[in-house]
Amino acid sequence: MIFFILGLLLIYFDKFYFIEYMFFFFNSCMVLYVILLDWMSLMFISFVFLISSMILLYSMEYMNYDYNKSRFLLLMNFFIMFMVFLIISPNLISILLGWDGLGMVSFCLVIFYQNKKSYSSGLVTVILNRLGDLFIIMSMIWMLNFGSWNFILINYYMNLNYLFFISLMIMIASLTKSAQIPFSSWLPLAMAAPTPVSSLVHSSTLVTAGIYLMIRFNEIFLTFSFLNYLMVISCLTMLMSGLNAIFEFDLKKIIAFSTLSQMSFMFMILCLGKIDMCFFYLLMHALFKSMMFLSSGILILNMNNNQDIRKMGGLIDYLPFCGLIFMFTLMSLCGFPFFCSFYSKDLIFEYFLMMNLNFFFFFFFLFSFLLTFFYSIRVIYYLLMMNFSMFNYLMIIKFESKILIISMMFISFIMLFFGSFFMWLMFYKFDLILLEFKFKILSVLILFFSIWFFFELNNFLFSMSYMISLFNIFFFGLMWNLLFFKVNFFLNNFLSFGFFTLKVFEIGWIEYNFNSGLIFFLKKMIGFSQNIFLNSYKVYILLFFLWFLIILLFNY
């Protein structure tokens, strides 16, 4: 509440605070820690603290019977701390501190359950995130040309060649963290983490770090022409994630693909130059996506840790509160009227229709919009409307704890009733939108068409289930074979190369030549140099003078 009120004051007075704290300086080199407090950072911190506090309350009950509950809560607090470091940093050094910390703690949380699947998922996650760290470090090196790592102090009208490379590297780093093509494969694999971790990662921390960094660097990006390429990448990612969500049966992975789709949606808004709209949708997405994961976690817990939606059904009768909240979050995801996402998504949709874009972008945007409605209706049908199987009748627990419900009620209340409040708050400067009536009702028409289309295709999909399952395995289930490429080519070859270097160099010919490897050789060299400088340097100096005198005598 304190951060939210401070953000309101900074919006009202149109101010920001730039705070530098100097640790020490050596000659002309100053080691500073820099903090940027404006309405955007304070508002985002307030949302992060709101969502994470409810998730931590939820985790106290959800992880109650886990032996490592204290370690889990400690890692979650580290996760929130590094995200706050990233949010308040206008300096690339301190951004790297939060950026690298998020990747490290996410690896620890993905491998929390310590089985083979968790380890492989965590390894893919950490390697792809380290790739983003590499591009951040390269942009830091390039920013040395400006004499400062603070990006708000850069003169944007000079040194355009330098700015081009910096913005390109930061864009690639943001694509790795926000899991756009071709770095998308780690996001569904990160579902090996516990459900509260997924809720925090997908709503307001790890995945949103990339898009938040691009919002911060927006003045650099909007000066260059590669936004068209970024628009193509986001369109393809939105299409791929929507198609994967339709063919997926794991509940958490379906929600992960929906996160991927919404991240691509935010990148598309950013490419159009609407920074405030992108940030507004980022906050609204954090609200309903956290609620989606929390309610699905209770559904999975009651189904005896079963995540397959084919083995669920009729849960609205047994778990009415969680089923209702889950349905509301999916309606908010679709931009249903008067939910929190409606005020941002409908505005963005209308603005997109006004833009002078080609048929490619227009078609993929509308088709991805249709896919979002389609997989949302599919999940509602499978979980809440379909008759439950005998397996569920035997295994359902009917457990809705008071702590779990209390932790969900506050965010769900904001999600349902405060969308218009945030819109009036952030968009005090309105854009005039002029559209024909048929374009104004196009989003509602797509919603009703997707409902009709789903129920028409439902029987056909069941009759063609064998063919669809084969097609799913070979193409859609592997994220257009990105998983195959990452795991079989990139990851396995990377690890095989590491084993090869260990075998050939460290325990191979170096071991043979230097007796005990490279470390023993370095020890001998260090000991030899210490012997020269500490003990026998007089002898060497005398020998040198003796050799010098002999040369002089022979010359004479």
pLDDT in tens, 56-109: 888 888 888 778 888 888 888 888 898 888 888 888 888 888 888 888 888 888
Whether residue 493 is contained in a domain is answered as no
Whether residue 18 is contained in a domain is answered as yes
Q: Express each pLDDT in 193-212 by its tens digit.
A: 888 888 888 887 888 888 88
Residue 5 has pLDDT above 60, yes or no: yes
Asked if residue 516 and residue 406 are part of one domain, the reply reads: no
Give which of 106, 112, 114 is closest to 130, Cα–Cα: 106
Q: What is the pLDDT of residue 113?
A: 85
Asked if residue 527 and residue 378 are part of one domain, the reply reads: no
Whether residue 502 is contained in a domain is answered as no
Whether residue 484 is contained in a domain is answered as no
Whether residue 378 is contained in a domain is answered as yes
Give which of 473, 449, 456, 446 is closest to 248, Cα–Cα: 473
Asked if residue 529 and residue 396 are part of one domain, the reply reads: no
Whether residue 477 is contained in a domain is answered as no
Q: What is the pLDDT of residue 132?
A: 84
Asked if residue 542 and residue 420 are part of one domain, the reply reads: no
The domain of 398 spans 1-469
Residue scoring higher pLDDT (188 or 543): 188
Asked if residue 184 and residue 75 are part of one domain, the reply reads: yes
Domain boundary residue, one of 423, 451, 469: 469
Q: Express each pLDDT in 305-330 by its tens digit.
A: 778 887 777 777 778 888 888 888 88
What's the Cα-to-Cα distance from 247 to each of 140, 192, 473, rounded to whole Å? 41, 19, 9
Asked if residue 164 and residue 113 are part of one domain, the reply reads: yes
Does the pTM of the predicted model rise above 0.85? no
Whether residue 478 is contained in a domain is answered as no
Q: What is the rounded distance in angstroms from the CA atom of residue 55 to the CA atom of residue 445?
A: 36
> Among 235-249, 332-346, 472-486, which stretch is predicted with the lowest mean pLDDT?
472-486
Whether residue 38 is contained in a domain is answered as yes
Q: What is the pLDDT of residue 480?
A: 66
Residue scoring higher pLDDT (223 or 305): 305
Q: What is the pLDDT of residue 116?
A: 81
Three-state SS across 262-296? HHHHHHHHHHCCCHHHHHHHHHHHHHHHHHHHHHH
Asked if residue 78 and residue 177 are part of one domain, the reply reads: yes
Q: Which two tokens stand for residue 79?
A: 């996760």
Asked if residue 222 and residue 85 are part of one domain, the reply reads: yes
Asked if residue 531 and residue 448 are part of one domain, the reply reads: no
Q: What is the rounded distance in angstroms from the CA atom of residue 128 to the CA atom of residue 126?
A: 6
Residue 549 has pLDDT above 70, yes or no: yes
The rounded mean pLDDT for the chain is 79
Q: What is the pLDDT of residue 430?
A: 65
Helices marked H in 388-484 = 390-395, 402-417, 419-426, 437-440, 442-463, 465-474, 482-484
Asked if residue 223 and residue 83 are part of one domain, the reply reads: yes
Q: Express each pLDDT in 19-52 by its tens digit.
A: 888 877 777 667 778 888 888 889 889 989 988 8
Asked if residue 253 and residue 137 are part of one domain, the reply reads: yes
Q: Which two tokens stand for residue 320?
A: 């009415």
Asked if residue 314 and residue 235 are part of one domain, the reply reads: yes
Around Cβ 95, how many Cβ atoms within 10 Å? 27
* Structural domains in the chain (count): 2
